[in-house]
A = this chain, B = another copy of it.
């Protein structure tokens, strides 16, 4: 069911988030702890913002496992950013391994990731697609429920796509989740859907931790915020902030010890 992480804060190297932290995303790719199935070897993706160049994030994806991708290792030592998305994938049955199915998905300034799954997605896929404006309809390249959910989100933002507030992003995410639940009900699907999403435009980060069935537990999601995420004697910690926090990490599994589940 995948693992992901979002970082926003002072400029950091990708390697510190992906490779160097104790339970870095690379470690989660072969030995995720807080899941029954520890393996996330069906491709990966990283996205990051370079606001001094332009608002469009860069994305690097591959269907190879993250743990053996030499390009990823080499790039992560050289790429610094104030905002990262990273994702390791465990393919849900039927949504095959393909570059088109690697997260994060990107549309204009937005990055999107999903950890979870929409139950019996094929039963609502047609209705979902019909609801989309042409631009978002044709934007979809792959077969994942995740990318389709992104298209729903973009559709919900609608004509505010280039002029929105933080609240608009929150509302669009809420509304995306409600819409999916509604289609599920209409199709008579009672299996649980797991809807941990993350969306960013490089300035705002919005994330959800949600399961349709209140008796089930959604996949874990941790948030850690503070002054900055730094190394003390080889260990990464989030240094506490006295004021408004300058750094935040949202991740399927904690990279650090001072964390709070969402």
Contacts and interface: CB of A to CB of B under 8 A. Distances in A.
B126 A134 contact: yes
Interface in A34-85: 39, 41-42, 50, 53-54, 56, 58-65, 67-68, 70-71, 74-75, 77-78, 80
A216 B63 CA distance: 37
A100 to B, nearest CB: 6
Nearest to A143: B141
B75 A60 contact: yes
Contacts of A59: 74
A98 B99 contact: yes
In the complex this chain forms, how many copies of it are found?
A: 4
Given A77-B58, A126-B137, A137-B126, A68 B96 contact: yes
Given A30-B39, A68-B91, A100-B98, A78 B61 contact: no
Interface in A63-121: 63-65, 67-68, 70-71, 74-75, 77-78, 80, 91, 96-100
Nearest to A13: B53
A80 to B, nearest CB: 8
A30 B62 CA distance: 19
A215 interface: no
A157 B138 CA distance: 27
Contact of A141 (B56, B96, B99, B137): B96
Contacts of A80: 53
26 contacts: A41-B65, A41-B67, A42-B65, A53-B77, A56-B77, A58-B74, A58-B77, A58-B78, A60-B71, A60-B74, A61-B71, A62-B71, A63-B64, A64-B64, A64-B97, A68-B97, A70-B96, A96-B100, A98-B100, A100-B100, A126-B129, A126-B134, A126-B137, A129-B129, A130-B130, A141-B143
